[in-house]
Amino acid sequence: MHVIHTQNELIKTLKTLPHIAFVPTMGNLHEGHIKLIQEALKKTKHIVVSIFINPLQFNSKEDFKNYPRTLEKDLSMLEGLNVPYVFVPSEEDILDQLETTEIHLPPITNDLCGKFRPGHFNGVATIVCKLFTLIKPDIAFFGKKDFQQLFLIKALVKQFSYPIEIVGIDTVRDHDGLAKSSRNNLLSEENRKKAPQLLQQLNTMKEKVIQKTSSLEEIEAQSVSALNASGWTVDYLSIRSAQSLENPLHDENQIVILGAATLGSVRLIDNIEFCIQD
């Protein structure tokens, strides 16, 4: 396994490689990341995994400081998966040489998670653009747990005409349904037991949407109240078009329900996709 630390070394190493697959991460790897890598391995043996904790996407310095840093364990895991290339740049190497290209993300950027984390997706997009430019992958893999992020990455690729196929991979879940996340490690024992309530409410909302016995607004409000009553602080539970992330049209069939809520001091996100009529 080749661990690369600088942009220049990365460019030299990858310049002659055909058909590169890219899996961007912030480290603290878990089963969700492993699934992305396994899917990438099905496409090509030339895989690059990046590990970079991006300060531009954090709204709180404390959140950035507390993000788990497990580089040695991560590298051991990647070596066990036979990943050939790992890019682990320093902040100075990446941030000091950022291009000044202006990124225009669609208006949905400022809704859902963007409404509660201003600037977050611009920070994500800035670094993803930088990594795409350096690595020049043919295909890149992202988890569907960050549904809004995946949607915006696809818009980014379209905006800059990157010749990159973006592949979304289904969310990997724990035995009780909780979506795998680096943040789960920060939950107290008591809150870890309560954490599956988020997915449970999303599924409750799904059944109500299919039954069509209440308005979408009523369904959202009922689940927000239920989670808040259980000790959560809900940012949003929202029923959207899976195609546009806008409010669904009356005849919309492909739906995604997205949620973000804080339990203790840990903010969790999740979503479920479904069709109203199969």
Residues 163 and 44 sit within 8 Å (Cβ to Cβ) = no
Q: Which residues are CB-neighbours of 72 under 8 A, at least 6 positions away?
A: none
Residues carrying an active site annotation: 33
pLDDT of residue 74 exceeding 90, the answer is: yes
pLDDT of residue 260 exceeding 70, the answer is: yes
Q: Which domains does the chain have, with CATH numbers?
A: 2-169 (3.40.50.620), 182-273 (3.30.1300.10)
Strands 21-25 and 139-143, sheet pairing: parallel
pTM of the model: 0.94
Residues 198 and 266 sit within 8 Å (Cβ to Cβ) = no
At residue 167, φ and ψ (nearest 5 deg) are -115, 125
For residue 62, what pLDDT band results from cuts at 50, 70 and 90? confident
Mean of pLDDT values over 50-56:
95
Task: Convert the pLDDT of each residue in 161-220 to its tens digit.
Answer: 999 999 999 999 999 999 999 999 999 999 999 999 999 999 999 999 999 989 999 999
Mean of pLDDT values over 240-254:
93
